[in-house]
Chain A
Amino acid sequence: MIEIENVRKSFGALEVLKGINLTVAKGEVLTVIGGSGSGKSTLLTCINGLEPIDSGRILVDGVEVHAKSTDLNKLRQKIGIVFQQWNAFPHLTVLENVMLAQVKVLKRSKAEAEAEAAKQLNHVGLGEKMSVYPSRLSGGQQQRMAIARALAMSPDYMLFDEVTSALDPQLVGEVLDTLRMLASEGMTMICVTHEMKFAREVSDRVAFFHKGVMAEIAPPEQLFGAPKDPELQKFLAATH
């Protein structure tokens, strides 16, 4: 379970998270929507400790992420994150990309890591591409590789930060299909996204962020069907 309690975060004078309270249960798929600068991506990077927070706290399975005593490297093994920019390691083949952290962080043997990498790459439809370098892959394929790389760490939670935003439109579908597949398998996921149709289909709940505040959170049929927050109404009108 991920518990976010009254989290505040500023970049200089700009407060990007103004007291966020949110709980994500095991197995839940939460999507987060909102305009740019609403703080939704920052929240994700705070959850896995890549960004410090100013006040409040975030608990992952009861462990406080930003406590001094917390071993972040260990905690991050539980929380996979995939970014808008997929960040393939260019000097490693697709297979090696997915093996690296398994061997170095989880101390799996090469054979184990390779078997797991092959499994995850097949899972995201890259079974044919394992021996090539990332430069030979399309953006959508690189993004799916990044997803496989995170999944190979056997995380309990997956965070997706606008994973389709940097892709050509015709490549968005293949990545969303991968996310749908994960959701249907019961992975606990928080997806920050601009894909409204996707959010409506896969989410258990949808949260709308506006200027650092979680303005509304509800099951998709309610949030999209009968939005209460006036800013959300405006946002939905503008994106439809």
Chain B
Amino acid sequence: MFNYNFRWNQALNSLPQMLEGALVTMEIAILSMVIGISVAILLTLFRLSGNRLLYAIATTWVEIARNTPALFQIYMVHFGLGGFGIHLSPYLSLLIGIAFNNAGYLAENFRGALKAIPETQTRAARSLGMTPIQAFQNVILPQMLRISFLPMTNQMVWAILMTSLGAVVAMNTDLYGVTSDLNARTFRTFELFAIAAVIFYVITKVITLSARLLAARLFRY
């Protein structure tokens, strides 16, 4: 039954390629978070705007992002849009798919955070002559981001792990894609995926720890 011979050396020789893939994975995750946070702030404003259409757009986005598999979301960006003649590279499809998912989850986190900020904060800002936008930007937003900081860290970890879903759009330059290609050539399945798993683990741990350090620096109040 156990006649599998481990060949760690052979697998470890591929480490440089896998680390390059890891860089692509991190790049996609970071970009998808930057886009995701920006869009989530926009969706939050849509929901606050009092405009029915904007509210409906934001709510639909959040509902789809949170209640359908991330894999479908990425698949739709690549092949669904492809049906309309919009052909995106695997890299872009994966990035947009994850960013879509991030924005939906984060918008919901932001909504929760806003509930925790007393309405009187806005009133105080407005009574000092600030416009609604100035009040949001300078008084509400910083507090909202602070309250949502932990959920944002979690979402970042998810974004890293979601890059492996690039498999469905034939993405082959990220950590999962590189590992999968190597496996197809060498069949050192256990070794290669074990190494990839360790790399994933180290990346997410580093993110969680740096987030904690960053929080201590940013939020001194």
Contact = CB atoms under 8 A, between A and B. Distances in A.
B133 to A, nearest CB: 10
B134 A105 contact: yes
Contacts of A89: 121, 124-125, 139
Contacts of B121: 87, 89
Nearest to B126: A50
A104 B130 CA distance: 7
B129 A87 contact: no
A189 interface: no
Interface in B179-221: 219-221
Interface residues of B, number: 21
Interface in A145-177: 146, 149-150, 153
What's the interface size class on A, roughly? 20 to 34
B127 A81 contact: yes
A74 B221 contact: no
Given A50-B126, A100-B138, A133 B221 contact: yes
Most buried by B among A87, A106, A135: A87
Contacts of B120: 83, 85, 87
A90 B125 CA distance: 12
B127 A48 contact: yes
B142 interface: yes
B123 A104 contact: no
Contacts of A76: 126-129
B127 A50 contact: yes
A71 B132 CA distance: 13
Contacts of B59: none
Given A50-B127, A101-B130, A105-B128, A90 B143 contact: yes
Contacts of B129: 73-74, 76-77, 101, 105-106, 153
B104 to A, nearest CB: 26
B117 to A, nearest CB: 9
Contact of A73 (B131, B138, B139, B220): B131
A101 B135 CA distance: 9
A91 B142 contact: yes
B16 interface: no
B221 A87 contact: no
Interface of A: 48, 50, 73-74, 76-77, 80-81, 83, 85, 87, 89-92, 100-101, 104-106, 133-135, 146, 149-150, 153
Interface of B: 118, 120-121, 123-131, 134, 138-139, 142-143, 146, 219-221
30 contacts: A48-B127, A73-B130, A76-B129, A77-B129, A80-B127, A81-B127, A83-B120, A83-B127, A85-B118, A87-B121, A87-B123, A89-B121, A89-B125, A89-B139, A90-B143, A91-B143, A91-B219, A91-B221, A101-B129, A101-B130, A104-B130, A104-B134, A105-B128, A105-B129, A106-B129, A133-B221, A135-B221, A146-B124, A149-B128, A150-B128
CB-CB nearest 3 A-B residue pairs: A87-B124, A101-B128, A133-B221
